[in-house]
Each structure stands twice: as structure tokens, then as C-alpha cells.
Amino acid sequence: MSTALELVFEKTRAENRAALIAYIPAGFPNSLGCERAITALVDAGVDAIEIGYPYSDPVMDGPTIQEAAEISLKGGTDAADVFSALKVASATGVAAVVMTYWNPIEKYGVNEFAQSIADNGGSGVITPDLTIEESGRWLEAVSNCGINPIYVVAPSTSDARLAKVTSKTGGFVYAASVMGVTGARTSVSVDASALVARVKATTSLPVAVGLGVSTREQAKEVATYADAVIVGSAFIKLLLNAKSEQEGLESISALAKELAKGVREGR
Amino acid sequence: MTIELGDVLGHFGQYGGRFVPEALIGALDELEAAHNAAKTDPIFQAELAELHRTYTGRPSIITEAKRFAEHAGGARILLKREDLNHTGSHKINNVLGQALLTKKMGKKRIIAETGAGQHGVASATAASLMGLECVVYMGEEDTRRQALNVARMKLLGAEVVPVTTGSRTLKDAINEAMRDWVTNVATTHYMLGTVAGPHPFPTMVRDFHKIIGEESREQVLALTGTLPDAVLACVGGGSNAIGIFHAFIPDLGVRLIGLEAGGDGIETGRHAATISGGSAGVLHGTRTYVLQDENGQTIESHSISAGLDYPGVGPEHAYLHDIGRAEYRAVNDDAAMAAFSLLCRTEGIIPAIETAHALAGALVIGKELGPNATLLINLSGRGDKDVQTAADYFGIPL
């Protein structure tokens, strides 16, 4: 049976466009605020929601997501909050996945975590620091639960290793556009299109580009060669800078609408 | 007893391995290949040996601590004097090896994390010696505790970046160094300072430090005609401990005892005793013992010693603990400071506060083993950098 995520890509392929995936950490700016942000993003036209599991040592994340994670963790966010945000997102009808560093999964229990993702309507999990070599138990667990294991690849990943990683990936391949941490950038690296081409040479899975996308123009550019555009830090920055919750929700909604246009203008 | 000390993927039993972003895999593979080649390259080995002889000051000597031993149940106490190495600690062994590898890989920039500043100073020293650019990440809290070492690193030409995220200590300095590395991996080598992190670091850093145990095993045999009853070392990340333990691992009659930082006491929750008070998990790219809460979030560690103030530990220690080949105990701040003072006053040696944890362990273990026992202790570093902290602790006005 296909996951909701796989169905999203069937739909966007049929519409000959890229999908828009929005990232928001669970419990940020607080539990209710996160739920409202999810609703605002979905209403504005995103195709999938990526719920971040805030972690104490986020080595892949730049200052914006670090700050959001710290706020969320200070508010007491735990696994239950992640699953409840996931449930809220999937209930809106879009595809929903979780992105998390590995240790919280291991602590929760590998099988139990995969099962809770499935039970709350999640389509898969992005695991940015889980290598293929350490994935044995995880791949078994996600396969048993019918969810997608989503791996991140980088411009420095060799062709041979890309083939190895994508052969174990489900849902989509997450292509990190640059060498570096998350965060909005003024331009999306030229590495990104080359990486997407190299990934596509190894798999028929959709390829999503993340890291650094924050504008309609960038989304349009990425949409010319990728199957999805992932935006995170740009939304979080708006929420962090907003003077009120309402202003924050309005600003992320406006940006999501612009990005949704961008992903439709690429082809 | 079958002991597996690192498979091709860097596993020690269920510990070790690689939990890192794909962006770093290429660099880790490159480093592993360079290290493997260097291990059997006579030119590399000769170059490193010559540096140790003419620059580090190896072999380091053994000092018998007779007056200190009177407080340890009369057991014979032998100190392996890594504090006499250039830069004042064992850390130089590893950085010279890694700096040579950096040059072999054609990289011009090194980054390092530091807690107490020992590894930062050693890294800055090696970078200066070999003409490499050096950036050291150090928790803001630690730059305050170890201001003297910050000045040292700057004098040596390194840039010191105070880290203001999280607990502002060693753990956060490693996070920041890893973010730098992910971004600049093509030109930069991450000179990790302990036997933690993703493969090949735990194995490679151990290989550069195992000379401590190899030398002291010969030295103790020559001095006493027999192997020691126990080998003691302090454990933060665990580099000096694995360095002195490694040569003794096959000698099953020799007890290997690691002393962790008990801080205010494990029962208070304010400690850095990862094996004694933590649980299995993943931190900074490796599976090992971690101080973590029920959600797998890292818990901040606490110790009077900045160098032991780390919520993880090398995976080889986790494994040696689980199979029972090594034992780990916690020493509280107060016990460590009492041993610190005792060594100063009985032997004329000011140890690093890190090292004082091993000395405090010796006072207890010496009494357990009795007057016929011989204890070998890794005197991993000197205490000049800790004078301010010790003066504050003992109420000596500056």
C-alpha cells in the first residue's frame, strides 16, 4: 500500500510540478502555536509537512533551527508532542513525516517509534545522522510498519555511495543542496542541480532539495530540476521575528503561498 | 575472554560506528584510509617517532610517589609522567599524529574543540609547528574557567571561538566544530581530541595514544620485574585512559580502572560520570554511554574539571566496561581536590584537576589492594592551567 507521501508525488508528477514541503519543529513556538502553524501552512498550499523532533545537540542545524529547538525543548517537548503534531498534520489531508536525529528514536525504542509514526498517520521519517551501515534494525522496523525511510545525501556523497543509500530509501531522497547546516541562504548552490542529476541516475524515487531555500524565485529555480522543495528555516525565522502569534501565522501563510506559486512555475 | 577492539566499521561490540550526516562520510573515509596507510608506512612512523623524541620529549618518565603512597594504604604508586610532555599533557601525542595526517591529506586548516584547553593548546601547537591554520571552538563557560589556556592558544596563532549555545561547555564546542566541519570539509581536518566521535576517530586517537601504555608497561617491568596490579586513569572522553590501558588489555591479571568525574555526587544528578551514571545511546557520531533523559536528550554534565565535563565517553570504554575488562568508578569534586592538594604537598607535583580524579581513585584502591600492590597511574597533565580554579577552591587569595 502506498504511503500518503508516495501519493503526493504521484499527484505532483501528474500535474508536472514540484511539491512543496514545509518544516516545523514540534512544540514550536509552543504546542498550540505549532498546530496553528501547521494548519496555516496547509491552508496556504503546502503538499507535505515535516515535523522536526527538537534535539539537544543538532549538529546539522544552523542558528535558526537551533534557536527554535531550544525554545521547544524548554517548553518540555517530548515524543508524545511530536506524534501529536504529526497527527494534526496528517489529519489535514497532506502527507506528514518526522525529521529526527537518531538518539531519540533509539531511546524511544526503534520498533515502537516506527509504529507510533504509522499510528499517527505519518508517512515516514527523515534521519539525517543515521548512516546506512547503522540502519539494520531501523529498516526492518519501518518495513514492518509500512512507512518510508528517508535518507539525506550531500554534494560530497560519491556516486557509488548514492546508489547504496538510495537503494534503501523510500518516499523521496533528501538532497542537501550545499555542504553545510540548515538555514536560509541568498542563493541555492549550483551543486544542488548536479547532485539531483547524480541521484536520479541511481533511482526512480522523487528527489527533494533542502537547505537554504527561502524565496519564490529559489523555489521556482529548484523546481526546474527537483521533485520537491523543502523549506524550514525561512518559516521559523518569520515566527521568531513576529511580534504576535497572529502576525507570525500571517507571514508564514504569505510565504507558503508565494513558494507554492514558485514550485508551479518551474516547468 | 575474546576482546574485539574495533571492526572495519569501527564497532566495539554494540558501541562505536558512525552516526553522522552523509556530508561527512567522504572525509571520514579519507581519514580512515590515511590512518590505515600511515600505520604501516615506515616513513610516517619514523617521522612521528622523531617528533616524539625531539619535540614531545618521549619517552615520558615514571616517578615513584613514595610519600603520596603512605596515604594509599602503602601500595606502591608509580606515576606515568605525561604532564612532562611538551604542552603539559598527553594530548600532544594525538595532535602530532593527526597533524601529520592532515598534511598527508593535503588539507591546510584544522579545527578542534577543547574543554580544559589542553587539547586546544596542543592543537594550536601542532598547527604552528606544521604551518596549518587553526580554529579552536571552546565553550564560553570554559573560556572563563581556563582563561590562561585561551591566551596560550592565541599566542600560538590560533583563533579561539567562544561557543555560546547550549551549556557553553565541551559538548557544545564539539557541536559547533562539527557544524564547521560539515561546511568546510573539503579544506579542513577536524582534529578531534578524544577517543569519541564517529569511526575512525576512536580507533585512530587510541592508536596515537597507545604509546603511553606501551612505554609504561616496559618501564614498570624494568623497575619492578612484574606487571602492575592495577592501572588507573581519569576518564572524560577517555583518551589518556585508553592510551595507558591499551597495552595492558591482554594482561588479564592487570585491573584497568577508569575514574570518572562524580561532580557533586552521582546521586545529585550534577556529575559527568557517563559510564557510572549514564545509559547506552548515541552522541556526537558514536554509540556509547551517554548522560540523557528519558527522551534521549543529552543532559548537561557537571564537574570542577573542564576537561572531564562531557556527557559522553569513548565507545571502547563502554565496551570494556560491559565485558568487564575495565571497571569505572566516580570520584566527586571534593575527593579529587583533596588528592590534588595531597600530590602537591607530598610529591611537589601540581597535577591537572582531571588527573586528580585518578589520584583520588588511587587513594581508595591502594587501601583495597593493600601494601603489596603496585598501582600505575597516568599522570595525564600538569595543573598550571588549574591554578586559578584551585586557588578559588582552597580560598587562596590571588
Q: Which of A107, A110, A177, A182 to mutate to test the interface with B (most CBs of B within 10 A)?
A: A107
Cell of A85: 503534531
Contact B282 A103 (CB under 8 A): yes
- For B214, B222, B324, the CA distances from B227, given in Å and listed in that order, are 12, 9, 19
Dist. CA B393–CA B83, nearest whole Å:
22
Cβ-Cβ contacts under 8 Å, B292 against chain A: 103, 107
Dist. CA B81–CA B90, nearest whole Å:
9
Buried b (16+ CB within 10 A) or exposed e, A185-214: beebbebbbebbebbbebbebbbbbbbbbb
Helix (H, G, I), strand (E, B) or coil at A50: strand
Question: Is residue A17 in a domain?
Answer: yes
Asked if A156 contacts B23 with a C-beta cutoff of 8 angstroms, the reply is yes
Q: Please, what are the domains in chain B? A: 12-52+91-205 (3.40.50.1100), 59-88+210-394 (3.40.50.1100)
Question: Is residue A156 in a domain?
Answer: yes
Asked if A175 is an interface residue toward chain B (Cβ–Cβ < 8 A), one would say: no
| Active-site residue (options: B91, B171, B210, B385) | B91
- Residue A212 has a pLDDT of 85
Model confidence pLDDT, tens digit, residues A44-80: 999 999 999 999 999 998 889 999 999 999 999 999 9
Minimum Cα–Cα distance from B282: chain A residue: A103
Question: Is residue A137 in a domain?
Answer: yes
Cβ-Cβ contacts under 8 Å, B175 against chain A: 57-59
Contact B22 A155 (CB under 8 A): no
Q: Which of B32, B288, B297 to mutate to test the interface with A (most CBs of A within 10 A)?
A: B297
Question: Is residue A81 in a domain?
Answer: yes
- Residue B116 has a pLDDT of 82
State chain A's mean pLDDT as an integer: 95
- Residue B300 has a pLDDT of 92
Asked if A20 contacts A46 with a C-beta cutoff of 8 angstroms, the reply is yes
Cβ-Cβ contacts under 8 Å, A66 against chain B: 165
Contact B23 A176 (CB under 8 A): yes
Please check the confidence at residue A237 and state whether its pLDDT lies above 90. yes
- Residue A142 has a pLDDT of 98
- Residue A150 has a pLDDT of 98
Contact A131 B171 (CB under 8 A): no
Better-scored residue on pLDDT, B165 or A219: A219
Strand partners, A173: A207
Model confidence pLDDT, tens digit, residues B195-221: 999 999 999 999 999 999 999 999 999
Dist. CA B394–CA B168, nearest whole Å:
25
Q: Which of A161, A94, A103 is nearest to B22 (CA)?
A: A161
Domain range for A54 is 4-262
How many CB atoms neighbour CB A63 within 10 A? 14
Buried b (16+ CB within 10 A) or exposed e, B177-202: bbbbbbebbeebbbbbbbbbbbbbbb
Q: Which of A77, A15, A19 is nearest to A51 (CA)?
A: A77
Asked if A128 is an interface residue toward chain B (Cβ–Cβ < 8 A), one would say: yes
Averaged pLDDT in 10-residue chunks for chain B of 398 residues: 78 96 94 96 98 98 98 97 97 98 96 92 98 96 87 97 88 92 92 97 98 98 98 97 98 98 97 97 98 96 92 98 98 98 98 98 98 98 93 94
Contact A152 B21 (CB under 8 A): yes
- Distance, in angstroms, between A46 CA and closest chain B CA? 26
Asked if A9 is an interface residue toward chain B (Cβ–Cβ < 8 A), one would say: no
Q: Which of A150, A152, A131 is nearest to A211 (CA)?
A: A152
Asked if B369 contacts B317 with a C-beta cutoff of 8 angstroms, the reply is no
Asked if A180 contacts A143 with a C-beta cutoff of 8 angstroms, the reply is no
Dist. CA B82–CA B79, nearest whole Å:
9
What is the CATH classification number for the domain harbouring A11? 3.20.20.70
Cβ-Cβ contacts under 8 Å, B9 against chain A: 133
Asked if A104 is an interface residue toward chain B (Cβ–Cβ < 8 A), one would say: yes
Asked if A181 is an interface residue toward chain B (Cβ–Cβ < 8 A), one would say: yes
- Distance, in angstroms, between A153 CA and closest chain B CA? 6
Helix (H, G, I), strand (E, B) or coil at B113: strand
Question: Is residue A267 in a domain?
Answer: no
Minimum Cα–Cα distance from B187: chain A residue: A179
Question: Is residue A43 in a domain?
Answer: yes
Question: Is residue A229 in a domain?
Answer: yes
In this structure, what is the dihedral angle of CA atoms A71, A212, A254, A257, given to the nearest 10 degrees? -130
Of B179, B186, B281, the CB nearest to A106: B281
Phi and psi based region of residue B131 (left: phi greater than 0; alpha: psi -120 to 50; beta: remaining): left
- Give Dmax over CA atoms of chain B in angstroms: 56
How many CB atoms neighbour CB B164 within 10 A? 11
Question: Is residue A215 in a domain?
Answer: yes
Dist. CA A259–CA A217, nearest whole Å:
8
| ipTM over the 0.85 cut-off | yes
- Residue A188 has a pLDDT of 65
Cβ-Cβ contacts under 8 Å, B25 against chain A: 131, 156-157, 161
Dist. CA B130–CA B128, nearest whole Å:
6
- Give Dmax over CA atoms of chain A in angstroms: 49
- Residue B142 has a pLDDT of 87
Provide the number of structural domains found in chain A: 1
- Residue A105 has a pLDDT of 98
Active site residues of A: 50, 61
Q: Which of A90, A87, A27 is nearest to A53 (CA)?
A: A27
Cβ-Cβ contacts under 8 Å, A165 against chain B: 22
